[in-house]
Amino acid sequence: EREGKRAVYIIDNVGLWILPANTVPSGTSVTLQCQVTVSHDNTAHLSHTFQLRRDEVLIYSITTTEDKVTFELNPSRAADSGSYECQVTVKEKSQKSHSQKLEVTGLQTPVLNLETNTLYEGNDFKATCRAPEEKGSLVFRFLRRYRNEEPQTMKTVPATGNSSETTLVLGQAGDYSLYCEYDITLVSGTRRSNHSNEEHVIVKGDSKVLTIKPVMNVLPSSNVYEGDLVEVVCRVEGAVKDVHIYLTKNKRILNETSSSILRHVFRAQEGDSGELVCKTEWRNVQKQNYYPFTLFSKPRLVLEPLELFEGDRMTLTCTVTVYVPERISQGTLQYTVYKNNVKITPSQSYITMAHPSNNGNYTCKAAANFRSHSFIKESQTVVPVLSVVNGTLILGKPFQLHCHSDNGTLPIKYTLQGPKGFVGFVMVTRPEQKAIFNCPPIYKSSDLNKFICHANNSPQRPVEFGLVSQLFQTTKIIEPVSQPVLTIHPHMGDASEGQDLTLNCSVQSGTPPITFSWYHTERGALTTQTSKKLEQSFHIRNIKESHKGGYYCRSDNDASHTKQSNTVTVKGGFLTWAGWKKGLVAFFCILLVLVLIIVVAFRKRLRQFKRKQTVELSV
């Protein structure tokens, strides 16, 4: 750069190339080449700062006078896959290349090593899974196959570098095959490796271990019904010290003891359907026994048809799938259907037409009697929650709806219908996933009540728990303001200088609070006021000639869509009219004074003249 003269330059182009190709197998040596072209006025030794990014993360930076740099990936691995971009900065100017995608295919097959291949039942051992040539975010998974059973995951462990070491336990005697695999997380998604080598493991039985398997007795031994007293006995046969017994149901511990026998008594009630598990533990070894039982089930409210549109005939049917024929016959069950907790029919089915007026929360109850026990079971609400994302809807703007049900087994298919028909569907397969729908704008608040959400988790059955839900109670609806109108009081010509002028700004529609602002075309903003009404006024005291000119107002609310009125002009003429009238009054006042002076002078001269004549006559 010559002294005293500013450097003149322009960045023409930044190019990025991936060699030998954009898709290569794992292990290939890859070169990324970035080159810049700069036009300048013979400025010597311009410095170029090169920044190379993968998926918007800086991976390499260098400042040099050279116009080209290279970056080596040798060897390249799956973790190097991504979208690359080169940015070059010359002094205060900067330019980016077009992005280039690199795809490195294939993952290294992991290697499994075990501390031992022969052990006793319940003993733990160390296992190591390695992928020494891989890099990135790795998660290793250890799996086992027992005899002809399906493989089961024993443990999932995040990697330390490119390997993972953990402790495993095989609790049952027999022959096993163990292997491992790993996942690598990339911006584009998760990839899974092939299986490692399989290691054959022999687990030998221990005579003490064989004797701790619990014996389980449940009374009554046949069916268990709601209201029955249930006694559960778990015991260990044989003299084994330090054994512990647990009784669980649905992963909840009901009772436990450190002796060789456990007794537990409870009365069966709603929600007790499930599986009783008697589990014994000795050192690191566990054994268990099971007893499943089922009670009179809750009814289920089923909607038909699956695809429901306004005007269609719909049927809600209340059914009980599990009951005891020898105690409760289907004919003695009494059904009731409710809408929003209000009884609508004392029957098993309810038939009506699909219409916004029929929106609501539908449930049903099934009642039965047996001996001294009576049963009343209520279905789960069949309506999923339908809500506007963030709770605010602006009329005339696109918005999002969230459809969600607290009940039902995944996967669940959510389908949304709107005022103009089908909007879309979302398949929810994970607990953290949400069914979010992008909806087109609506222009009337009443259209919000025309959205219907269906929820279905079985392709063989109609909707399990989905119909509609009103949104007005949970949604803040904002109507944008209409174009404001500016009026002036009093009208031009009726005001005098020194009087007051009122500028009234009003809108026909809009959700309060509304912000009104007044402007002068030359002086700019005058004032701003916020009101819960559809109009507001601004007063100018003691108007003068300087107040002439154009005025307009603007209105806005939480919809953030500002509207502006037409410009109203206040001319100077009506302001100078008052001065003209004052001048006219002053003219007449002066004229009156002059007339009075002339009259007085005339009368004085007249008296003098008469006096002179009188003197002459006397002479």
Continuous segment of H or E residues that includes residue 139: strand 138-146
Q: What pairing do the DSSP bridges indicate for beta strands 385-388 and 349-353?
A: unpaired
What pLDDT is recorded for position 459?
46
Q: Which two tokens stand for residue 195?
A: 């299986």
Distance of alpha carbon 51 from alpha carbon 418, whole angstroms: 48
CB atoms within 10 A of CB 557: 21
Quick check: 52 and 102 in contact, CB under 8 A?
A: no
At residue 71's C-alpha, the angle toward residues 17 and 42, to 5°, is 75
Helix (H) or strand (E) run with residue 615 in it: helix 573-618
Sheet (strand 334-339) strand order: 342-345, 334-339, 362-370, 373-378
Q: What is the mean pLDDT of the chain?
A: 81
Least confident of 85-99, 161-175, 239-253: 239-253
Q: Strands 334-339, 362-370: parallel, antiparallel or unpaired by DSSP?
A: antiparallel
Q: Encoding tokens for residue 10?
A: 């322009």
Distance CA 192, CA 211 (A): 41
Contact 281, 246 (CB under 8 A): yes
Residue partners of 583: CB distance under 8 A and separation at least 6 = none
Q: Are 419 and 442 in contact (CB under 8 A)?
A: yes
| Structure-token pair, residue 341 | 């907790």
Q: Which residue has the higher pLDDT, 373 or 194?
A: 194
Q: Considering the entire predicted model, what is its pTM?
A: 0.38
Rounded to whole angstroms, the Cα distance separating 457 from 154 reads 29
pLDDT range class, residue 105, cuts 50, 70, 90: very high
496 band by pLDDT with thresholds 50, 70 and 90: low
pLDDT at 590: 85
Q: Render the burial of 64-87: b for 16+ CB within 10 Å, e for the rest.
A: eeeeebebebeebbbbbbbebbbb
What are the tens digits of pLDDT across the range 7-41?
788 999 999 999 999 999 999 999 999 999 999 88
- Quick: pLDDT tens for 450-483: 788 877 765 444 343 333 445 666 788 899 999 9
What is the per-residue burial (b if ≥16 Cβ within 10 Å, else e) of 458-473? eeeebbbbbbbbbbee
User: Tokens 């020898």 sit at which residue?
Assistant: 326
Higher-pLDDT residue of 1 and 559 is 559
579 membership: H or E segment, kind and range: helix 573-618
Residue 511 banded pLDDT, cuts 50, 70, 90: very high
Cα torsion for 405, 407, 409, 413, to the nearest 10°? -20
pLDDT tens digits for range 202-237: 988 765 555 677 888 888 755 666 667 888 999 887
Which residue type sits at 194?
A: N
Task: Fold for 300-378, please state it.
Answer: Immunoglobulin-like (2.60.40)
The model's confidence at residue 573, banded by pLDDT at 50, 70 and 90, is: low
pLDDT surpasses 90 at 610: no
Greater confidence, 320 or 162?
A: 162
pLDDT (0 to 100) of residue 534 = 93
So what's the pLDDT on residue 467?
Answer: 39
Please, where in the chain does CATH 2.60.40.10 lie?
9-105, 111-204, 213-293, 300-378, 484-570
Is the pLDDT confidence value at 374 over 60? Answer: no
- The candidate with the shortest Cα–Cα distance to 196, out of 166, 163, 170, 147, is 163
Is domain 484-570 classified as CATH 2.60.40.10? yes
The pLDDT > 70 percentage for the chain reads 79
- Beta pairing class for 392-394 and 476-478: parallel
The whole-number pLDDT of residue 271 equals: 61
CATH code linked to domain 383-475: 2.60.40
Amino acid at site 352: T
Mean pLDDT of 256-278: 81
Q: What phi, psi does 390 have (nearest 5°)?
A: 75, -5
d(CA 471, CA 383): 12
Those residues whose C-beta lies under 8 Å from the C-beta of residue 426, and which sit 6 or more positions away, are: 403, 413, 414, 435, 436, 437
* CATH classification number, 9-105, choose in 3.40.190.10, 3.40.50.300, 2.60.40.10, 3.90.25.10: 2.60.40.10
How confident is the model at residue 576, as a pLDDT?
Answer: 45
Task: Tell me what pLDDT residue 516 has.
Answer: 95
User: Where are the extended beta strands (E) located within 296-372?
Assistant: 300-304, 313-319, 334-339, 342-345, 349-353, 362-370
pLDDT value at residue 2: 42
Residue by residue, DSSP assigns 273-309 as -EEEEEEEEETTEEEEEEEEE-PSPPPEEEEE-SS--
Contacts of 213 (CB under 8 A, 6+ apart): 236, 280, 287, 289
The pLDDT score that the predictor gives to residue 468 is 41
Distance of CA 208 to the CA centre of its chain: 55
**The CATH number fitting domain 213-293, selected from 3.30.2080.10, 3.30.70.980, 3.70.10.10, 2.60.40.10:** 2.60.40.10
- Asked whether the CA dihedral 257, 263, 266, 271 is positive or negative, the reply is positive
**Site of tokens 């007063």:** 539
Domain 111-204: what homologous superfamily?
Immunoglobulins (2.60.40.10)
Q: How far apart are the first and last CA of the chain?
A: 122
**Per-residue confidence (pLDDT) for residue 424, from 0 to 100:** 86
Cα–Cα separations (whole angstroms), residue 74 to 19, 29, 130, 131, 421: 12, 4, 20, 17, 55
251-260, 289-298, 391-400: range with lowest mean pLDDT: 289-298
Kindly state the average pLDDT of the residues 402-427. 80
